[in-house]
Amino acid sequence: MPYRSPLLDVPGSIPSPDDHPEAGVPWHWGDPFAEQRTASRSVVVIDRSHREFLAVSGEERLSWLHLVISQHVTGLAEGSGTEALVLDSQGRVETHMVLAHLDGTVYLDSDAGSRVTSALPKGGPQTLHEYLEAMKFWSKVDIRDATGELALLTVLGPDAERVLSAVGAEVGPEPYAVAALPGGGFARRMPWPGRWSVDLAVPRAALVDWWKKLTDAGARAAGSWVFDALRVESVRPRLGVDTDDRTIPHEVGWVGSAAHVAKGCYRGQETVSKVHNVGRPPRNLLLLHLDGSPEVTPETGDPVLLDGRTVGRIGTVIQHHELGPIALALVKRSTPVGAELLAGSEDNLVQAAIDPDSVPAEQPAPGRAAAAQLRG
């Protein structure tokens, strides 16, 4: 049965459409643009309780995880976290997760419905839990589904520290710092979206109580629309929306943050290392500004066109309170930064332009030079 957050029963919440990637949690609370403004100027709290949790414990938890995920975690200290991927043998992204190491357990949270499709097939795609269980062999680890134990809330905004302090959710200032919450669960500082972001993994049975504590402390209720708008502005991908079945970590900015280039012993590592050291990714995840004058916008999966040729793929499309209609898109690396693009299909075709600030630093000339010139 599809997940439905209990916060959808709180007056004022508006659910996401059933076919939306964030279905099951509030999409907004009546005024998504005002909620975005509050996130940039004060503080909001966003229900992300549809994310799934796994808990990995046991004396070999770090050395074993080090072998099966893309990140270097043998030295992951208690009270810290990171991001990681599961890749296929060609280095293509299958699953993205965020980690938190606390009290002898590594918690992994991922988007609802994450699947591993290429390894150890058992009649079809495996859940992340099934995949990790299949890779356990004789390792001294225990893997349990903790989705019924924990639910995720995200606090965003420059006043986040004040609200977190009021509810006893103290966490260090460094990215991915992790600290226990009073009553169970943990807080994890995130480097995105926006400059002030803290995830609270709260006991699922206390989700409504925590929501009330945070809003009573001054956080405005906000929906997944706000999170997506800030995520797109930050050029951070969502698996399965901004990625396709050919995406490698380099294309979407996951090298370093989620995939380690020097460690071996994980599936897809050869591709990660080779592209990092001797090549360049064929595509880059870029921010597109869309023409807002038509009453249509492109949809996820629609093409990005240059002179009638497909040069990219549209991912997340969102209305931003300051930037207007924007989108993330995987675009061929050779596409000129100042090119006049079209995004969409026949019925929703609009003009689009690459935001030069989203061009990766390693982009070769003329793309990088053009980006610098456009910035002035």
Q: 């957050």: which residue's tokens?
A: 5
Choose one of 112, 129, 145: the last residue of a domain.
145
Check residue 118 and give its pLDDT. 66
> What amino acid occupies position 335?
T
Kindly report the CATH number assigned to the domain that includes residue 190. 3.30.1360.120
Check residue 217 and give its pLDDT. 98
List Cβ neighbours of 263 (8 Å cut-off, separation of 6 or more).
Answer: 66, 72, 269
Check residue 120 and give its pLDDT. 52
Same domain, 131 and 181: no
Residues of the chain with pLDDT under 70: 118-124, 362-376
The C-alpha atoms of residue 124 and residue 340 are separated, in whole angstroms, by: 42
Choose one of 145, 170, 188: the last residue of a domain.
145
Element (H, E) at 85: strand 80-87
Check residue 264 and give its pLDDT. 76
Domain boundaries, position 206: 6-51+148-234
Check residue 374 and give its pLDDT. 43
Token duo for residue 357: 């600030």
How many structural domains is the chain composed of?
3
Same domain, 13 and 135: no
Same domain, 61 and 140: yes
The C-alpha atoms of residue 72 and residue 119 are separated, in whole angstroms, by: 21
Q: 């495996």: which residue's tokens?
A: 126
Check residue 265 and give its pLDDT. 77
CB neighbours of residue 145 within 10 Å: 13
Same domain, 167 and 310: no
Same domain, 107 and 166: no
The C-alpha atoms of residue 178 and residue 6 are separated, in whole angstroms, by: 26
Q: Is residue 96 part of a domain?
A: yes
Specify the pTM.
0.93
